[in-house]
Amino acid sequence: MKLKVHHASVAVERGDITEWEVDAIVNAANSTLAMGTGVAGAMKRKGGVIIEEEAMRQGPIEVGAAVLTTAGNLAATHVIHAAAMGPDLKTDATKIGAATKSALQLAEKHRITSIAFPGLGTGVGGFPPASAADAILTTVLDHLKSGGSTLRRVIFVLYQDEAYKAFTDALKRASAVK
């Protein structure tokens, strides 16, 4: 499933976000920036502890904020750590939307052209994938529709079946109202 918004393509893919060759992959972070489990843990295992060390030197951060680090041994160039939850690992649509917006602002600041997002909050955060998809996708589409973005490719890379279906359905709804 793919949607074109101005000069950018928005797509939903099934897979492991740690394997994507993009300028930046987004980490579903907590505000301490410790990378223990879920997407963060996978990034640390595959990319190296340097990612977590670099992130934690910039933290802790507010829920909804984001920081940028190198990507270590990952295929991506950078990791954007978007804090969608606090140390309690709980989240909601407002926090997820704010973290998404901060990730996009950081991408623009660093002139990133391709970015891959996971289903922020849908793993460790336990937030319903359909609600997360709506919050993230709305934020990304609003950002792209405002024009002038450096982003040319936005990919939602989902590992779990339920999240993949939720993001695909949300993108279909968005393309119907485009």
Q: What are phi and psi of 46, to 5 degrees?
A: -85, -35
**How far apart are alpha carbons 66 and 15 in whole angstroms?**
23
pLDDT band at 32 (very low <50, low <70, confident <90, very high): very high
Instruction: Evaluate if pTM is beyond 0.85.
Output: yes
What is the per-residue pLDDT across 49-92, written as a single tens digit (0 to 9) for each? 999 999 999 999 999 999 999 999 999 999 999 999 998 989 99
Tokens of residue 21, six digits: 């060759």
What is the SS3 assignment for 88? coil
Mean pLDDT of the chain: 95
Domain boundaries, the chain: 2-177
pLDDT, average across residues 137-141: 97
Pick the CATH number of 2-177 from 3.30.420.40, 3.40.50.1220, 3.40.220.10, 3.40.50.720: 3.40.220.10
